Amino acid sequence: MSWSPSPPAPAPAADRWGDRLPRRLGFWSAVAVLVGSTIGGGIFRTPAVIAERVPAPGPMLGVWVLGGVLALCGALTYAELAALFPRSGGVFVYIREGFGRLPAFLFGWTELVLIRASALGAIATPFAEYLLRSLGLDPTLPRNAGLVHYVAAAAIVATAALNYYGVRWSALVLNVTTGAKYGALLLLVLLAFLAGSGDWSHFATAPGPVTPGLFGLALVSVLWAYDGWGDLSFVGGEVRDPERYLPRALIAGTIGIVAIYLLVNAAYLYLLPIDQMARSPLVAADAAQVVLGRIGIGAVSVVVMLATFSTLVGSILTAPRIFFAMADDGLFFKTIAKVHPRYHTPSAAIVLTACLGVGFVLIRTFEQLADQFVVAIFPFYALAAAAVFVLRRRRPDLPRPVRVLGYPVVPLLFVLASFIILGNALWSHPRETGFAFLVILLGVPVYSWWTRRRAVHVTRM
């Protein structure tokens, strides 16, 4: 009698919301996905960029406040949509339900060829820089520039492998690392104000010139640092009791992010004058050195590596669900909708996402990756938020476990602010912004080709 191993357990059938992935994420894991996907390289790298573009203490902090308000408006808006459609793909589903398949396809297309790869590269680059710095290699020297790209690519591959083998492992790593990095940032704030030799006069420094164009461009960078609150929607199909947990996690996680970002920037400014912040691309390490001396540089390097690794885990946990949802809806290759029979993860979508991230991080700089990502994502964030208005009018009978707090002002503010930011980006950086818009528009003929191809394929079957 021959023995053969038992076959792997089949993937679960679709639940009542139509999702085929198992719901294994509880409330705190959902919060960890949001916070873990957001606190990455942004808060350690972006403050220097903001201080350079807005060289005045009040307006510089004002950019962070305004960015936080807009992020919270977005989270409050998405709370209604997430409870209404707790599906894998999140924003993709909201746009499809509100505006149809073409705009939803354009979102997935732009994520595929531009957004997600840029985001992964922008997250992995600070990880590589701080890792090299902790090893005694200066990442700013030309001879180490290539090494930064290779280390960042290796980090993307490692986190993709972790996600491939199951959402439980990813959730465990996210819960631990998110708590650790949030606690580390709080500790830095406390040390700065209680033990640091800072100066409150830094907050009253004579302001440098602030132009509306650079203020708007700084806001784009701040919104990149805040981005991540929307990523939780992508794993809406894997959150338990989603009508209850998804909205709460969106709002609680976003408030936590805004609070820690404002505290950390205030701590940076207390320790370093704004002109020094502007000249400090690794501002967290320089701030920690003021408090702890040389040991502070090593401590911050460890925190940044932990933070960005955690964010990579979160991003590769969430992003593949977009392509999975596209394929499941017939708008992408069916193979990408495959659920691994043993690990119950969208394995093909994870591999695809990792390959895109590696390709981009090898050829582009941090600034190119970060700014391009925000410019490309915000038209779709705005469109998804606007779906609240459309769905309230066209489908008022749908059960809404959660309604937007402050409707219609809150979603309207988010939508209008998004388009103002995009207009400013187009005015300040027409070539880069125009390229992002061109990529989006190129998806229209691709969609036409895809739908014709699919129609022919169905006819032949």
At 228-258, the pLDDT tens digits run: 888 899 999 999 999 999 999 999 999 999 9
Is-contact 126 149, C-beta < 8 A? no
- Which residue reads 């403050």 in tokens? 47
Question: Is there a domain that residue 225 lies in?
Answer: yes
Please indicate, yes or no, if residue 261 is contained in any of the structural domains.
yes
pLDDT of 80 over the 80 cut: yes
Q: Quick one: pLDDT at residue 264? A: 93
| Integer Cα distance of 271 and 252 in angstroms | 29
Instruction: Please name every residue paired with 25 in a beta bridge, in sequence order, or none if there are none.
Output: 239
CA angle 17, 20, 24 (to 5 degrees): 90
Q: Are 44 and 184 in contact (CB under 8 A)?
A: no
- Count of CB atoms situated within 10 Å of the CB of 123: 33
pLDDT at 85 exceeding the cut of 90: yes
HSE value, Cβ hemisphere, 13 Å, CA-based, for 360: 29
- pTM of this structure: 0.86
Rounded CA gap, 63 and 215, in Å? Answer: 7
Asked whether residue 440 is domain-assigned, the answer is yes
pLDDT of residue 368: 58
Q: Where are the beta strands (DSSP E) in 307-403?
A: none
Percent of the chain with pLDDT over 70: 93
Number of domains in the chain: 1
Task: Give the integer Cα–Cα distance in Å for 21 and 86.
Answer: 12
d(CA 30, CA 402): 17
* 321/21 Cα distance (integer angstroms): 10
CA–CA dist 327, 359 (Å, integer)? 22
Has residue 215 been placed in a domain? yes
Residue 293 lies in a domain: yes
Considering only 106-115, 147-156, 282-291, 391-400, which range has the smallest mean pLDDT? 282-291
Cis amide prior to 346 (ω within 30 degrees): no
| Percent of the chain predicted with pLDDT > 90 | 40
Evaluate whether residue 22 is within a structural domain: no
Q: What is the pLDDT of residues 135-162, one digit of tens each?
A: 878 777 777 778 888 999 999 999 899 8
CA–CA distance, 117 with 114 (Å, rounded to integer): 6
| pLDDT computed for residue 5 by the predictor | 46
In a domain, 35, yes or no: yes
Residue 406 φ/ψ, nearest 5 degrees: 85, 15
Tell me the residue range of the domain where 211 lies: 27-454
Which residues are registered as beta bridge partners of 249?
none
Residue 284 counted as domain residue: yes
Cβ contact 21:353 at 8 Å: no
Name the one residue in this structure whose structure tokens are 């103002």. 420
H or E element that contains 318? helix 294-318
The alpha-carbon radius of gyration of the chain (Å, integer) is 22
**107 contacts 95 by C-beta, under 8 angstroms:** yes
Cβ neighbors of 27 (< 8 A, separation 6 or more) are 245, 248, 249
DSSP readout, 189-247? HHHHHHT----GGGGGPPP----HHHHHHHHHHHHHHHTTTTGGGGBGGGBSSHHHHHH
User: CA–CA distance from 438 to each of 426, 442, 445 (Å)?
Assistant: 12, 6, 12
CATH number (domain holding residue 375)? 1.20.1740.10
Residue-wise pLDDT for 65-78, tens only, equals 999 999 999 999 99
Q: What is the DSSP letter of 337?
A: G
